[in-house]
Amino acid sequence: MAATTPVSSATGGRGAGARRRTRNAKTDGAVLSRVKEFTRLLDRPLTSYYLLVGSSVLLIVLGLVMVLSSSMVDSYTETGSAFSLFLKQAVAALIGIPLMLLASRLPPRTLRLLGGPLLLVSIVLLVITTFRGVEYYGATRWLNIGGITVQASEPAKLAFALWGANLLARKEELRELTEWRHLLVPLLPVCGILVLLVLMGSDLGTSFVLMAVLVALLWIIGAPGRLFFGVVGLVGLLVAIMIAVEPYRLKRLTAFLNPEADPFNSGYQLLHGLYALGTGGLLGVGIGASREKWGHLPHPESDFIFAIIGEEFGLLGTLLVIGLFGVLGYSGLRVAARTTDPFVRLSAVAITTWICVQAMVNIGTVIGVLPVTGIPLPFVSAGGSSLIPTMLGMGVLLALARNEPAARSALSARGPTYPQRALSWLGLGNSAGRTAPGADRAPKTRPTQVQARRNRRR
Amino acid sequence: MPRNRTGASAGRRPHPAPSIRSPLRRRFRRGAIQPRIRVMGAILGTVLLLFAARLVQIQGFNADDYAEAAASLRLTTIEIPTVRGDITDMAGRPFAMSVEVRTVFLDPAEVRDDQREEIVQELSRRFDLPPEEIVAKLNARVDGRPSRYEVVQRGVPIEEWKEIRELGFHGVSAERDYKRVYPEETGAANLVGFVGLDGHGLEGLEAVLDSTLAGEAGQQQVEVGSDGTQIPMAGGLIREPVPGRTVRLTLDLDLQWYAQQALNRRVEELDAEAGSVVVMTRDGQIRAMANYPTYDPNNFSAVSAEQRRNGAVADAFEPGSTAKVITVAAALEEGLVTPDTVFTVPSSIRRYDQVFRDANPHPTQRLTVNGIMATSSNVGAIQIGEKVGAEKMYEYLRRFGVGQPTGLDLPGENTGILTAPEHWSGTDLPSVSFGHSVSVNAVQLASVYATIANDGVRVAPTLIAGMEDADGEFEAAPDPESERVISADTAADLRLMLEAVTEETGTAPQARVEGYRVGGKTGTANRINPETGKYQGGGYVSSFVGFAPADDPELVVSVVLHSPKGEYYGGEAATPVFTDVMSFALKTARIPPTQTERPPLRLME
């Protein structure tokens, strides 16, 4: 690491200097000093922002590559073109990119307005899906709108995260969060409705993610610990009810424990996922060279794309993906830790939880530690309904990262960018409606060119 | 759920008394934020680390087990077809050859709807198949799913497949295969045989030489998708295919064809049941082996077993007069007679309960051994045979190859019957003396005359000249066994006697070939009726065996006709075929015409 990296930052070089002195007194190991250098590198105003951009862009690119690789066989057999599914995914990504960029430039004030309408639309779509949905593979999760199949439960996760964060933040600002009812109403009932609607489509994975978002929101707002025992009990009860209604679910729920027991039915997909991972070994069989995608592993491009990554890129590839989600989660939590704005904190945690839990459920399924639920790997799995809301959510998270106090001052030191100018002209910009514009800047003086250049380097 | 109940109560009582607070109205203490974020980070980190550990387990420690189990599901071994060796004549012209062809098949699951109609039309037109059949193949289902492999036509020429391929139909494919082709009218079907649909020999040389011709199919290990699609870039070659070896026969394609034609003509003319022609060099190499009835091996399924017989080795018959040479050879070789020894030959002679007659009644003659042969006297032959005796007779028959396997190792060979002399009854020695009570096949008979032609050394008949590798390296067949049966002088004496047969005074003056001295012998024997097992109603076996040029013989031709109607004496029935084939054979082999004259022979006292 570059030992000459200037350390002085807007967050206060004095504190860092003090830490360095005390640590130097305790240790003399070179390793520790390396670690220190590293933490110092992380300790920069735009770290969260760039880590989020980096990890999500890498995941999206990897996703596009892997969707092409894993879907080409099935696409060719079904449509005669190896690219048909990939092109759909590419179109979804092309829609998602501007949405992500736009969202990343929106101020929190605007983002707070998004949750409610989005939630309403999601609920309406979910209700329609329940009655009018298209059934694939025994689950009614898809809605056919003008030839495009949409999975309404995907945007619902983003909607719930934003809406829930906004709700609790408002209550926090109104200092209402002293009683249980303000904490739980209407958050809990709405979540219940969503979970119920999602479960109508037999989507256990998504309902689990929704509940995880709920738990994360409550956790971060500071709800007492015993509440979480209650939630765990509630989830257990729900699962028990689900199983009581359709007993086959228990078998599906426990099939993952021993896929070899029923290698042709319940254990089939899982077993072939493990085969793919094992075939990949340490370094993989090479990009595009997966064998399991040749009709052995069902849906290699969606729920089990992680297995194909493991087959083509080996342990190296799977650990990289795990690492990328780890970085993403770390950065999301870092945003939450560094802000004072309750909405920013809540929504950052909610979105991070959503993406990370979904990734964990998906990966956990593939590696055989969780039951098969049928949930896409965020950014990577094929499916526009999943990719676009995820990218939008990432855009929101980026906007929040830019809103970290230190980041905000670092960014404003660069001066407004063209999109910011366009947004402010539309009345949506960061400083548009602010009573004290430029509160975080040096109030009187514009940054000199030297300062601006230095700041840009960060 | 408590939430609902208390929620409702909260609605009904907007201002509850502080003393009875609903659980939702209770205040709670907020937890600190930063530690909670750290807890979340810790959970995230722990879970991801656990996942990473599990991945190390799957992809590191247990990877081989999973990979092996997966591979065992995907790996299959496919055979790489190899080309079967040809069967050629001595100059390399093919009797049987393999050509690379394509098996055109449909993958109905791949066929596009907009091309369906076109595919049905094109394939039905091109292969002359009913359109319904192709539609049925397109709709074929296996286990409820569209079939992936429906053969439309086998043996499609490569050129034709290229034309189909250029039409760009999805789901119409072809795979490499080899088709066995028998050039038309080689006339060697009964000898060469044919291969079955699986490409292995079923009949004739194709069956006998299968291990040599077939080669070894290569093996390739491939990984396949769940529907059997071969996965590219996976698997590998296990064994290179070994092409089969070409077998070069001693046959001459032109001669074979000609012999077949000549035989066909004569058999049909005389309405005979069957017949065979064998052309042999003096050292036992078979130049032609024609049979009647024959068939087209390209369409073997429509052929009866009777047609497929290789009668030249499969049919044994009593040789009749043609075997008298063995009697005379034994007598000469043993020094019991000379060609000029005179016998008193009546028209008939009685032995025990049986009267043996000459073919035509005649007054008692004083005939030399030459004369006995030239006139084909049964009575004379019996007298010579009785001088030889049963033991010696048997010994010479054996040494000439009678009753012994020919060594050609052809399917269905009938080695004939030669019983040991201790089992002979009183009438057997006389019978055997003029070629009855023993049986031979046509190749054995030709071999007897080849021995005489070869100055008394019998060379076992051969059919296979050698094998040729795919890279053209020729390996000659091992030399056949040879054995001196009679002295060269005896052989020369016999040749002169046999030459006399084809003269005006002999029994087969028609056997002469312009420009060459020819020796030979007619044979006419009662044929055992295959239905009753008796001579009655069995007809005759007419034969002629001869060699040319008589002064230095090169070729032996034997002609056997079973049950000809009308002219049944060998001289009349079989000789024209002999003349025909022999003159063609001499020309084909470019044997110069004879320059010498036959020395005069004394036939009578």
What confidence score (pLDDT) does residue A323 get? 96
Which of A252, A248, A266, A184 has the alpha carbon at shortest distance from A218? A184
**Among the listed ranges A31-35, A382-386, B49-53, B476-480, which one has the minimum average pLDDT value?**
A31-35
Tokens read off for A438: 């430029």
Lookup: tokens for B541: 């076996």
CB-based contact B27 A179, cutoff 8 Å: yes
The secondary structure of chain A in percent helix, strand, coil, rounded to multiples of 5, reads 70, 5, 30
Q: Which of A277, A282, A353 to mutate to test the interface with B (most CBs of B within 10 A)?
A: A277
Number of H helices, E strands in chain B: 21, 27
For B210-256, write each residue's pLDDT tens digit.
888 888 888 888 887 776 677 776 667 778 888 889 999 999 999 99
Rounded Cα gap, residues B24 and A37, in angstroms: 49
What local confidence, expressed as pLDDT, does residue A139 receive? 66
Any idea how long chain B is?
605
Question: Could you tell me the pLDDT band of residue A88, with boundaries at 50, 70 and 90?
Answer: very high
CB contact under 8 A, A289 and B67: no
CB contact under 8 A, B48 and A325: yes
What beta strand segments (E) does B311-360 contain? 316-317, 342-345, 348-351, 354-357
Query: Which chain A residue has the Cα nearest residue B232?
Result: A289
φ/ψ of A419, rounded to 5, equals -60, -35
Mean pLDDT in residue range A127-145:
76
- Residue A437 has a pLDDT of 43
Query: Is a pLDDT exceeding 90 seen at residue A137?
Result: no
Higher-confidence residue: A401 or B21? A401
Residue A454 has a pLDDT of 55
Split chain B (605 residues) into runs of 10 and give each run's mean pLDDT: 40 47 74 89 95 93 89 82 88 89 86 86 89 87 78 88 88 86 80 84 89 86 76 74 90 92 91 92 93 86 84 89 92 92 91 87 90 90 92 93 89 89 89 90 94 94 90 88 93 91 81 89 81 74 90 92 76 87 92 86 80
Q: What is the pLDDT of residue B547?
A: 94
Task: State the virtual CA torsion across A217, A222, A227, A231 in degrees, nearest 10.
Answer: 10
Judge contact between A67 and A86, C-beta under 8 A.
yes
**Chain A residues within 8 A of B227 when measuring between CB atoms:** 77, 295
Shortest Cα distance, chain B CAs vs residue A291, angstroms? 7
**Is residue A247 reached through a cis peptide bond, with omega within 30 degrees of 0 on the bond before it?**
no
Residue A395 pLDDT class (50, 70, 90 cuts):
very high
**A406 — pLDDT class (breaks 50, 70, 90):** confident
**In which region does residue B29 sit, left (phi positive, over 0), alpha (psi from -120 to 50) or beta (all else)?**
beta
The whole-number pLDDT of residue B150 equals 86
Predicted pLDDT of residue A28: 61
- Site of tokens 């034969």: B543
Q: Is some CB atom of chain B closer than 8 A to the CB atom of A325?
A: yes
* Shortest Cα–Cα distance, B163 to chain A (Å): 22
Q: Do A80 and B48 touch (CB under 8 A)?
A: no
Which residue ranges make up each domain of chain A? Answer: 54-410
According to DSSP, the β-strands at B540-548 and A148-150 are unpaired
Structure tokens belonging to residue A343: 């909405």
The number of residues making up chain A comes to 458
Distance (Å) from the alpha carbon of B74 to chain A's nearest alpha carbon: 8
**Substitution target from B40, B110, B143 for chain A, most A beta carbons within 10 A:** B40
- Residue B580 host element (H or E): helix B575-588
Taking the Cβ of residue A175 and every Cβ of chain B, the question of whether any pair is shorter than 8 Å is answered with no
Q: What angle do CA A429, A432, A438 make, to 5 degrees?
A: 100
Question: pLDDT at position B2, please?
Answer: 40
Asked if residue A20 has pLDDT above 60, the reply is no
Higher-scoring residue by pLDDT: A258, A106: A106
To the nearest 10°, the Cα dihedral for A84, A86, A90, A93? 130
Instruction: Select from B26, B31, B73 the Cβ nearest to the Cβ of A222.
Output: B31
Q: Which residues of B are catalytic?
A: 321
- A to B CB pairs, distance under 8 Å: 170
Contact between B359 and B435 (Cβ < 8 Å): no
Give the pLDDT of residue B146.
75
Greatest Cα pair distance, chain A, in angstroms, is 73
Beta partners for residue B218, in sequence order: B80
Q: With contact defined as beta carbons under 8 Å apart, do B558 and B284 qualify?
A: no
Q: What pLDDT shows up at residue B458?
A: 94
B227/A443: higher pLDDT: B227
CA distance A72 to A78: 10
Name the pTM for this structure.
Answer: 0.63
pLDDT of A80 > 90? The answer is no
pLDDT of residue B366: 92
Q: What is the pLDDT of residue B412?
A: 85
Share of chain A above pLDDT 70, in %: 83
* Nearest Cβ partner for A337 among B25, B34, B110: B34
pLDDT digits (tens, 9 = 90+) for A347-359: 999 999 999 999 9
**Range A242-281 burial, b when 16+ CB lie within 10 A, else e:** beeeeeebeebbebbeebeeeeeebbbbbbbbbbbbbbbb
- Report the distance separating Cα A189 and Cα A167, nearest Å: 13
- How far the first Cα of chain A sits from its last, in Å, is 16
Mean pLDDT within A170-179: 86
Q: Mind spelling out the 3-state secondary structure of B380-407?
A: HHHHHHHHHCHHHHHHHHHHCCCCCCCC
- pLDDT of A160: 95
B39 Cβ contact list (under 8 Å, min separation 6): A219
Burial of A323: CB neighbours in 10 Å, binned 0-12, 13-18, 19+: middle
Chain B stretch 210-269, residues whose beta carbon is closer than 8 A to a beta carbon of chain A = 223-227, 229, 231, 233-234
pLDDT tens-digit profile of A262-273? 777 667 888 889
User: pLDDT tens-digit profile of B38-76?
Assistant: 999 999 999 999 999 999 999 999 899 988 888 888 888
At B114, the amino acid letter reads D
> Minimal CA–CA distance to B172: which of B161, B182, B180, B181?
B161
Residue A447: pLDDT band (50, 70, 90) is very low
Cβ within 8 Å of B, A 109-168: none
pLDDT tier for residue A434 given thresholds of 50, 70 and 90: very low
Cα–Cα dist A369/B236, whole Å = 35
Predicted local confidence at residue A393, as pLDDT: 95
**Mean pLDDT estimate for chain A:** 82
Are B23 and A180 inside 8 Å of each other by CB? yes
Cα separation, A209 vs A204, whole angstroms: 9
